[in-house]
Structure 1
Amino acid sequence: MGAMIPHVPEPVTGDIVQLILDDHRLFEALLRELRLDVANREVLRACFADVVLAHGEAEEQHVYTSLQRRRTITAHEAEHGEEEHAELNAAILALWECKGLDTQKFDDAVEEVTKAMSHHIAEEEQSILRDADQDLGVEARADLGKVFCAARSKGLADHIGAEASLRRIVARAERGGLLPPEGESEEE
């Protein structure tokens, strides 16, 4: 019997705030499964990476830029969200680099991803999403939701979270100054 592939909803429309909140709950559920379901970790890791990367890229390309144009969020808030995505992507890459899926190294990598994810979700929900919910009308949230869904679906179809793609995205974040170069810590 093959590994059970988790169901990842692919909405095509919706309120952007609710769509992002729904993804956040999906991420938390997938992380719980990744901790508990040793037998299906390979499939869960790939699914988790794809949906998180597709979500993050869609947010950066469409949501953050639209909210900045509307002055709902500042350039600093958008950049901070991008930095947190970069940190999360680097943690997911470390998870990909774990060869043994039933090892302490893998468990530790899952905990690092969980910490980065929890921090980002809390901040994004308390600032960016709250502001978007208050400042955007129903129609604007629906329009942005449609664009977000299309970009997210494309990322999923392209398997954006595959290790090679993830390496390119992390390297781009390093070049863009969102992460310290590989091998350097932020304290250096």
Structure 2
Amino acid sequence: MTTDVVELILADHRRMEELFRTLRDRGADRAKALDELAYLLVAHAEAEEAKVYPALRRYKQVDDDEIDHGAEEHTEGNMALLALMEVEDTESDEWEGKLEELVTAINHHLDEEERTILNDARETVSDERRAELGEQFAAERERRVDAGCGTVEYVRELVERTKDRVD
């Protein structure tokens, strides 16, 4: 298994997309898929902000504005996640609408992050440094999961703490 931070982030992105497909399937265990997505999404974003984004700011070819924008989009994604988590009936039209808002917000972020921050990192950050960052990212992501980052209470507190990022 790779420790390249770019590859680890991309693997998380692909897992999120798989979970979106499951969440859209009315025959699936949507509550279970949402629980997994909540933990993955929050732990992933917090690990990026704690370990990856600060390190990438040091590279001239990685755009600081894109890193700031990525953090804003994490907040937008968390807000959409919370809105979905607060809908109890996974068969309701409201749940479907909130799901589509979440999918739209996260897919937009994944696309932008992959085209800007991750491509820049792949081109300008050494393989060795990307491996170090990958180890730090994976450890931080796991630490956040173990701390319960995917609960509705934690997501609510996180949104409250970071909502000032969003214009």
Q: TM-score, normalised by structure 1?
A: 0.85
Structure 1 residue 179 and structure 2 residue 156: aligned? no
Structure 1 residue 63 and structure 2 residue 47: aligned? no
3-state secondary structure, aligned to 1:127: helix
Structure 1 residue 105 and structure 2 residue 58: aligned? no
Cα distance in 2 between the residues matched to 1:96 and 1:107: 12
* Corresponding residue number in structure 2 for 1:136: 125
Q: Which runs of 5+ in 2 are unaligned?
A: none
What is the CA distance between 1:77 and its match in structure 2?
1.6
Contact 1:41 1:101 in 2 (8 A): yes
Contact 2:75 2:165 in 1 (8 A): yes
Cα distance in 2 between the residues matched to 1:29 and 1:17: 19
Cα distance in 2 between the residues matched to 1:52 and 1:38: 23
Equivalent residues in 2 for 1:7-156 (5 A)?
Answer: 14-156=3-145
Cα distance in 1 between the residues matched to 2:59 and 2:67: 12
Q: Which runs of 5+ in 1 are unaligned?
A: 1-10, 181-188
3-state secondary structure, aligned to 1:69: coil
User: Which is richer in helix?
Assistant: 2
Cα distance in 2 between the residues matched to 1:41 and 1:67: 35
Identity value in percent = 38
CA RMSD of aligned residues (A): 1.4
Amino acid at match of 1:81: G
Contact 2:26 2:91 in 1 (8 A): no
Q: TM-score, normalised by structure 2?
A: 0.95
What is the CA distance between 1:38 and its match in structure 2?
4.3
Q: Which runs of 4+ in 1 moved over 2 A?
A: 69-75
**Count of residues in Structure 1 that have an aligned counterpart in Structure 2:** 167
What is the CA distance between 1:99 and its match in structure 2?
1.2
Cα distance in 2 between the residues matched to 1:72 and 1:85: 22
